[in-house]
Amino acid sequence: MTGASALLPALLALPLIGAILVMLLPKEEPGLARGVSLGVSIATLALSLVILGLYDTKIASMQMVFDKEWIPGLGARFKLGIDGISIFMVLLTTFLMPIILLSSYKAVTSKVREFCALLLILEVGMLGAFLALDLFLFYVFWEIMLIPMYLLIGIWGGQKRIYASIKFVIYTMAGSLLMLVAIFYLYAQYGSVTGEYTLELSLLNRLVLPRDVQMYCFAAFALAFAIKVPLFPLHTWLPDAHVQAPTAGSVVLAGVLLKFGIYGFLRFAMPLFPYGAAELAPYMAYLAAAGIVYGAFVAFAQSDVKKLVAYSSVSHLGFCMIGIFAMNTQGIEGSIYAMISHGLTTSGLFLAIGVVYERRHTREMSEYGGIWKQMPVFAGLFLICMLGSVGLPGLSGFVGEFLTIFGMFISGGTAGEPSFWAEFMPHPMLLGAVATSGVIFGAIYLLYMFQKMMFGPLDNPKNKELKDVSWREIAVFTPLVIGIFAMGLFPKPFLQTMDPTVDQFVTRFEAKLAEPDGPAHIMGQAAVAPTPEPAQVEPHAGHNHAPGEAAH
């Protein structure tokens, strides 16, 4: 273990220590709690930038791996690592956290200390889940995230906050229970094949399960992650949670938490069960395409602006799902890119809604109108976030949408050379076309929202009192706006960083998919050769199993 490997645990420790520190501060001084937590989150951001600096963009596999024995009886290890897929998720988390804390200065005035500490604990949970390389560790972090989020909605939320928070928790937990069963199954299978019990991801990735079992296991994982994405029709917790959550909660939710769905598919569900993923890919892609259109339509029906943006997430994350099931570099990198961009633009939209909500205490679009005149600077910031979300070329949203749809469109290969995925993904062009229609619908509902709020006559007397954004609020938006432009104009450095990892992901997926069917085995060590002649059956020492012994 080199010195760099201490960086990742330090990244988790920093906000954790910060949270404890904040709780130790005197209750009467909310300003101190805000200051300390902001400082800690900025320090965490700085540390994550150091990690980015040390990250070698030419290496595909895990870097800065930290590996310690954790629960030896269970075979669970405290193993952390970072690669081209997780690095941007980590950066997105650390990038958004100071913004979230800064944005809540005025919005949260009760139990400030607890609020700040919970956000920092949430950061620990999210970073841990992105970095975990052990299934058990991941599951622990995955569930840890729920608690602060539950409290954030339940304590600082709106009127129906209890309903929304319980719905959020039960939805997510119900989804992840089947995943836990599948994890246990995997654990047992690996143990029975190799005689060694582990939950370490890199080892489990080498286990090839029988194809029918892969389908069940993939489905179990997919349910947990699809709820998180959220994939249509498992999305109904999202609008409730968003509407009831305080602005900070909405930003974390949209900015980071939703990304765990896609990340989970990429990190766990797809590499562990490639055949299951391949067989179920069309259905996932159909649902994703349906979700793009459905989310856009339903967003258009909203009168509550926060709900509108919440449904826009259903549509946007549909692009991400389409991208990963394109199973080519373009689609997957597009998907990751779209996730980061969504983290910036949608966070910006939620923050913008928070700005006007703090002033007017309503989210009904009909209450607004013509406020551009009153708040021109705010209008400009809001416009940029909105256009980024619409996917205007030159801003961040376009690159992700373009690449995901592009990836799906050519996922069956190009005219000359069909790809291995062509066999599994029927009608990729049709799916691509349906997804592309999202560019029309996206413009319709977002422009409608913008017009309702910013254009038209300034006829509501309450709006004539509105004050433009303060310097603090400008400071909240500035990094987002810079990010939106930078990612739109210079996507190459981002894509380059992901390239090796994503390439390797696709190659490994393809290789594991090509493994022969049969009882569970380690990759490249099929117990039974695919040919029927018994003379050629040569069981490998230590791994030979009669058919049916491994399969239940």
For residue 511, the minimal CB distance to another protein (Å) is 18
What character string, x for contact with another protein (CB under 8 A) and - otherwise, covers 523-552? Answer: ------------------------------
DSSP secondary structure string, 155-216?
HH--TTHHHHHHHHHHHHHHHHHHHHHHHHHHHHHHHHHHS----BHHHHTTEE--HHHHHH
Choose between 462 and 540: whose C-beta lies nearer to another protein.
462
**243 contributes a contact to another protein by CB under 8 A:** no
For residue 498, the minimal CB distance to another protein (Å) is 9
**509 contributes a contact to another protein by CB under 8 A:** no
Q: Which of 447, 475, 523, 529 binds another protein (CB under 8 A)?
A: 447
**328 contributes a contact to another protein by CB under 8 A:** yes
Q: Which of 24, 71, 301, 511 binds another protein (CB under 8 A)?
A: 301
Preceding omega of 233 cis (within 30 degrees of 0): yes
Instruction: Find the binding residues for another protein in span 139-168 (CB under 8 A).
Output: 167
For residue 406, the minimal CB distance to another protein (Å) is 6
**387 contributes a contact to another protein by CB under 8 A:** yes
140 CB-contact burial (10 Å; exposed 0-12 / middle 13-18 / buried 19+)? middle
For residue 188, the minimal CB distance to another protein (Å) is 29
Residue 513: closest CA among 197, 143, 250, 218: 218
> Please, which residues have CB within 8 angstroms of residue 459's CB and are 6 or more apart in sequence?
369, 370
The first and second tokens of residue 245, run together, are 């959550």
Q: Which of 439, 513, 526, 550 binds another protein (CB under 8 A)?
A: 439
**426 contributes a contact to another protein by CB under 8 A:** no
Q: Which of 203, 443, 475, 551 binds another protein (CB under 8 A)?
A: 443
> Please, which residues have CB within 8 angstroms of residue 153's CB and are 6 or more apart in sequence?
161, 164, 165, 168, 241, 244, 245, 246, 249
CA–CA gap between residue 44 and residue 272 (Å, rounded) = 31
**444 contributes a contact to another protein by CB under 8 A:** yes
**479 contributes a contact to another protein by CB under 8 A:** no
CA–CA gap between residue 24 and residue 30 (Å, rounded) = 12
For residue 242, the minimal CB distance to another protein (Å) is 14
- Sign of the Cα torsion 375, 378, 380, 384 reads negative
> Please, which residues have CB within 8 angstroms of residue 430's CB and are 6 or more apart in sequence?
none
For residue 294, the minimal CB distance to another protein (Å) is 6
Q: Where do contacts with another protein occur on this chain (CB under 8 A)?
A: 167, 170-171, 233, 236-237, 294, 297-302, 328-330, 333-334, 370, 372-373, 380, 387, 392-394, 398-399, 402-403, 405-406, 409-410, 414-416, 429, 432-433, 436-437, 439-440, 443-444, 447-448, 451, 454-458, 489-492, 495-496, 499
